[in-house]
Structure formats: C-alpha cells, structure tokens
Amino acid sequence: MVRKMGVYAVLAYVIYGLFFYWYLFYFANTKLPFEFQGTKADPATFLNGRELMLSVEYSKIRNLLFFLSTPFEWLFYFVILLFGLSKVFKQWAENSSKYKLLQTGIYIIWLSFFAFLATFPLSYISYSLSKTYHISTQTFPSWMKDELIDFWINYGTMLIIVPVVYWLMKKSTKRWWLYAWLLSIPFTLFMMFLQPVVIDPLYNDFYPLKNKELETKILAMATKAHIPAQHVFEVNMAEKTNAMNAYVTGIGSNARIVLWDTTLDRLSDNQILFIMSHEMGHYVEKHIYFGIAIYLLLSLFGLYFVYRIMNWAINRFGKELKISDARDIQSLPLLLLIISVLMFASSPLTNLISRYEETRADRYAINMTKNPEAAISSFQELTRSGLSQVNPPLLVKIFRYDHPSMLDRISMLEEYEIQHRTK
C-alpha cells in the first residue's frame, strides 16, 4: 500500500507538470486583444524584437517553475511521511538530547535540512534562469548567502512556532487551532514591525535617499498626502538584479517607503514620483493594515481546516503515514503539507484582493501626479527591465499575479490620458 501511494503521488506530480507545460507552451494565448494592438500597452510599441522574444521565453519557463515548485514541496513532505523518515528524524533527535525542547529543535533542523536539499535544484534552476536572461546580476556566492539566510530565518521562525503549536495540541486537542490563531496575532504584528529594521538589512544595505532634491519632492508629496514621512530609503539592489521595484514595508514607526537603486538609476524624477505616489496610495488607503486583517481572518479559517484535515488524514491514513497521534512531532510534515496546500488554494483570493489594492494605488498615484506620460513610461520600463509578460495566461494571472497585468495598468492610464485630454 505504501509503495502504491508513493507511485501514485509521483505519477500525479508528473501529470500535473505535463499539464502545465502543455498549457504554458502550447495552449495559453498571450496575444493582445485586437483593441489593444498598437496602443501604449502593446509591447511591440516599446520593446524591440529581441526583447519581445526573450520576454516570451523567460515568462514561460519562469511560470512553469512556479507551478512546479509548490506541489514539489507537497510531494517531499508526503514522501518523508510515507517512507518513515519523519520517524527517523525523531529518533535522531531523541538520541541526541534528553531535553524535550532540544529534541524538537533537532527534529526541525533535520527536516529543514532535507527540505533545503530537496528544493535546492529548483531554486538553483530559477537563479540560473534569471542569470541567463540577464535579470539577475548576483554572483553564486551572494545568491547562496541569501539562500542560507532564508534557511536560518525559516528555521528560527519554526523554532518559535512549532513547540508552541504542539504544546497547545497537547493541552487542548479540540481547540488548539483557535489558541494558536490568537497567539499568531501579536506574533504577526511583531514580525512586521521587525521586518524593515532587523530582517531586511540581513540581505541588503538600506540608507536614506542620496538624491536630496528628489527626496525633497517626495517628502513634499508625502506632506500633501498627510503622511508623516521623514526619510525615503534606497537599497543597493544593482549588485543582485537588473529589475526595478519600490515598496512599502513595516508598520507603525517602523513603516518605510523603499526604492531600489536600479529604479533610481533608470527612471526619471517624474517617473519615480509616480511610483512613490503609488506607494503613498497604499499608506493613505491603509492597505498594509487591511492586508494584516485579511491575513489573520484567512489564517483563522486556515488553522481550523488544518485541524480538521489533519485529524481526518491520520484517522484514514495514519498507518501508511507512520503517524499515530497528531500531537506527535513526527506529524509536522503533514501539518506543513496541509498548510502549504491551503495557502496555494487560497492564493487566487489573496491575489485578487491584492490586485484590487494595487489598482486603487495606481488610481491614487495618477490623480496625485496627473502625469500619464510619466506613469505609462515607468510601467513600460518596468516591463523591459524584468522581461515581464504584458498579457499573462489566465491561470498565471489567477495563481501568481498579486499586481494587475501591465496590460490592465497601462490601458487604465491611457483611458485617464484620453479623458483628461478632451477636457
């Protein structure tokens, strides 16, 4: 039975991968609708022939890697359980220490290490792909350093969360999910507060914007929008990527507006002002706080579903999965598998909400700057620098895009330009 379940799991993954390969490379139609051809949203009007070809190639491969990566994680956790490796990790932990807390930490490090090894090939392929298409400028040692930082941050986070969750399971087998959710509220807020000042600087250097003339313009816009900003930060991303970006991070006094130095180097002041007003739109409309609220609401339902599905799976397949009790630490791969599946399943909803907020921020930005030419050209440059797909396939947009497509964004700006040109 165990061997049969393993074969079925691998076969299901292969069929899934073949489906998305067929969908992305042969079925999906990414051509622009006739009404958009020749407009400023048409990549043929602002990309040369080589850039068009590269953007199509790069997008297809990158999207395929996206759809392969998450289910591969599910397959890994399933195999770990099916072949008793989770039980082996637990035995190694028990043989290494007589203290329960240390045993949990040792179990987690073994599971994390094998997960890192299993997913490393896909991660490296993604890195190599971005190097091949000149998106990434990062050296392998620098990339490897970031991967190891990711590993230890994830391990540290699990080292805090996992012992608490399993302690709650033992204290309350029926309501542990609710207590875990209640504890997740202050933890989530605390991590968001730490993000800009503790976690992000581990990857890159952040410093106040060097261009003081531009900073004055940005802060003047912030004052107009009633945003209590004192600094705009830039981050040294040129040594890692040719892509451009800007974002808002953190909450409360640690909230920051951040510009990549690649954005500063390649865009004009007016284009940057549009991008910054977009980020201010997120602040003004409190998208960060709405995002936290939505995340916490979804996590409440998610933890309940984890509780229900986990108990069902152990009752139905406990013998095959080598799990006799959900409260046993060796059930952790099953817990992580269920969480990952639920997050993937909920991504169409969370992406839809995010795209709505991004559209709102775009509208806020164009109403503040009233410069559609700068806005449109900034999106065109973002498309060029990241070899982005202007009109992505439907499934890619649903599962992957937390921002509107460039077709949606540029066409909205063109409508604004036409409306205000006639007034």
Which amino acid belongs to residue 396?
A: V
Supply the pLDDT for residue 99: 85
Banded model confidence at residue 61, pLDDT cuts 50, 70, 90: very high
Residue corresponding to tokens 């998450």: 70
Tell whether 150 is covered by a domain: yes
Q: Mapping DSSP to helix (H, G, I), strand (E, B) and coil, where does residue 422 land?
A: coil
Q: Is residue 386 part of a domain?
A: yes
Instruction: Tell whether 271 is covered by a domain.
Output: no
Could you tell me the pLDDT band of residue 423, with boundaries at 50, 70 and 90? Answer: low
Q: Is 234 a catalytic residue?
A: no
Is residue 305, in this structure, part of any structural domain at all?
A: yes
Question: Ramachandran region of residue 248, left (φ > 0), alpha (ψ -120 to 50) or beta?
Answer: beta
Amino acid at 362: D
In a domain, 128, yes or no: yes
Is the Cβ–Cβ distance between 365 and 403 less than 8 Å? Answer: no
- Report the distance separating Cα 93 and Cα 87, nearest Å: 10
Mean pLDDT of 256-275: 89
Decide if 267 is inside a domain: no
pLDDT at 1 over 70: no
Q: What whole-number distance in Å separates Cα of residue 354 and Cα of residue 404?
A: 9
Identified catalytic residue from 73, 215, 234, 279: 279
In a domain, 99, yes or no: yes
Domain count of the chain? 1
By percentage, how much of the chain surpasses pLDDT 90?
Answer: 62
Does 230 have pLDDT greater than 80? no
Assess contact for 275 and 381: CB atoms under 8 A.
no
Residue 284 β-bridge partners: none
pLDDT value, residue 207 = 86
Place of tokens 């497509």: 405
399 in Cβ contact with 351 (< 8 Å): yes
What tens digit of pLDDT does each residue of 82-111 get?
A: 998 999 999 999 898 888 889 999 999 999
Residue 251 placed within a domain: no
pTM summary value: 0.91
Whether the pLDDT of residue 338 is over 90: the answer is: yes
Residues of the domain holding 130? 2-204+286-421
